[in-house]
Amino acid sequence: MTNVSLIDRLAELHNLDGIPREELAWLVAHGYLEVYEAGTVIAPKGKRIDKLWVILSGHVAVQVDRGVGPRRVTDGRAGDVSGMLPYSRMTGPPGDNYLEVRSELLAIHEEHFPEMVHRCPLFTAYTVHTMLDRARNFNTSALQDEKMVSLGKLAAGLAHELNNPASATKRGANLLLQELSLLDAALRALSAGRLTHDLVEAIEQVRPLCQTRPDGSARSAIDQADREDEIAEWLVRHQVDPAHAAPLADTAVTTAALDALASAASGAALDAAVRWLAARSATHALADDIEHAATRIYELVAAVKRFTYMDNLAGPESVDVEAGIRDTLRVLDAKVKSKNALIALDVERSLPRVRAIGGELNQVWMNLIDNALYAIPESGRIDIIARRELDRVVVRVVDNGLGIPTDTQERIFDPFFTTKPPGEGTGLGLDMTRRLVRRYHGDITVESRPGLTEFRVSLLVDKAAPTGDPSDGRSSAPSP
């Protein structure tokens, strides 16, 4: 193909119809034609590109995998430019650049860029606009992918935390149905016997003890076994079925209270009374377990709603930093337990509010705390300290992990940079964190050495928000 025909083809491309013919002639004189078949990867992920491509025909696509599966983030067709662009600081593409169909490209090596900038100003301006659009598209898709990764972490943690109380609720409900049948049978047996006024009074005295523990706390396994043996021995002495010992032993019932019951009845009547009290104890215990499990589910759902600010209108608002951190810790509780980590939360009393979008600010806390959990050893420690410093709220997340190497610290906020193994990190978490903090006129810094890493987030105080009450009960204590 002659140079003239190549110039004509460039001039016919819609995106280049405003570029002077002399500039197109310069591009053709300093470039060369490349033809590739469909499926060819012209620029593999991470490998440096040293030339600019003008797409004459075909379709160039860029596919990126940031941990949520590969997806196409941008593409170029006839008249678009791709590859290395003037003034770009790109060292290598974040994903594979491949051809979806057979394509023809005019390639111009980067060694010609300095001259091209002077000889082809309009074409160079076009490439700069393309570079800005490309960066915008990549940043938008990168933030979306990071949000999806964070959503996956949130869903995994929530599923883990909900599984235990949900299983307890289902198990307790099934057992409760069985115990209700036993309670009905015990009630029929009690009603069929000789119910005297004294026996009814004695049952009423013992019944409240069947609904509580002696001090409201669980006994040790040894203490529980000893107590069950003690009640079983009492039941055998009074010719009552010792199978009732287990549910009664888990309550505040004492042998002295049972003695008072025995003074009002004996034989079948005493057995029926104890049988009813044991069934009543079991049903109350199961109902209590179900209530605790359901409360745990309610609290988890409420924490997630607060974490995501589901009920709030979009847009900045006055945000309680401590509440957001606590909700984040609840969401990450499963990971905290898996590491057997100690989380110490130290928040200044009456900490001022900041102005931000609450859900996005909680994303900052999640990224920093999740990274700290990854960095610490088993049974490690994370300190979260929040203080007012002049017109700012400063939050420090400090962990006792191995630390960040000095030559790495300058790069940790760079997009796609990660020290985690492949598949465990996108390299976008800290980049997004810094973007979100700066969106609210804040700043984030890091200091690290072996055994101590501290991320410091500073945010402007919301001066329009009311000041908290110094006696609001906040204290420096490990998180719940």
> What are the residue ranges spanned by the domains of the chain?
3-119, 156-300, 314-478
Q: Examine domains 3-119 and 314-478 and report if their fold is the same.
A: no
Residue 378's alpha-carbon distances to 158, 340, 422, 424, in angstroms, are: 22, 6, 22, 18
Tokens of 99: 């051809």
Contact 48, 86 (CB under 8 A): no
Predicted local distance difference test score (pLDDT) of residue 473? 39
Predicted local distance difference test score (pLDDT) of residue 309? 56
∠ CA(292), CA(294), CA(298), 5° rounding? Answer: 115
Work out whether strand 342-347 and strand 381-389 pair parallel, antiparallel, or are unpaired: parallel
| CATH code for residues 3-119 | 2.60.120.10
Closest residue by Cα to residue 171 from 78, 293, 19? 293
Predicted local distance difference test score (pLDDT) of residue 457? 95
Q: Which amino acid is at 269?
A: A
- The per-residue pLDDT string of the chain (480 residues; one tens digit each, 9 = 90 and over) reads 666 688 988 998 888 888 999 999 999 999 999 999 988 888 888 788 888 989 999 888 876 665 555 666 667 788 888 888 887 776 667 677 878 889 999 999 999 999 999 999 999 998 888 877 776 666 655 555 556 566 666 666 666 667 777 888 888 888 888 888 888 887 887 777 677 788 888 888 888 888 776 554 556 778 788 888 888 999 999 888 888 888 888 888 888 888 888 888 888 888 888 888 888 888 888 888 888 788 777 777 776 666 655 555 556 788 999 999 998 888 788 788 888 999 999 999 999 999 988 888 888 998 899 889 989 999 999 999 999 999 999 999 999 998 888 877 777 777 655 666 544 554 557 877 888 898 888 999 999 999 999 999 999 999 877 655 443 434 444 444
Predicted local distance difference test score (pLDDT) of residue 342? 93
Q: Which amino acid is at 418?
A: T
Closest residue by Cα to residue 83 from 64, 56, 105? 105
Tokens of 230: 């003690």
Superfamily for 314-478? Histidine kinase-like ATPase, C-terminal domain (3.30.565.10)
Q: Which amino acid is at 185?
A: A
Contact 49, 90 (CB under 8 A): yes
Predicted local distance difference test score (pLDDT) of residue 73? 61
Q: What is the 3-state secondary structure (H, E, C) of 408-469?
A: HHCCCCCCCCCCCCCCCCCCCHHHHHHHHHHHCCCEEEEEEECCEEEEEEEEEECCCCCCCC
DSSP per-residue string spanning 152-215: HHHHHHHHHHHHHHHHHHHHHHHHHHHHHHHHHHHHHHHHHS---HHHHHHHHHHGGGGGS-SS
* 374, 375, 380, 383: CA torsion to nearest 10: -100
Predicted local distance difference test score (pLDDT) of residue 344? 94
Neighbours of 136 (CB within 10 A): 10
- Tell me the helix, strand and coil percentages in the chain, rounded to 5: 50, 20, 30
Closest residue by Cα to residue 434 from 418, 457, 417? 457
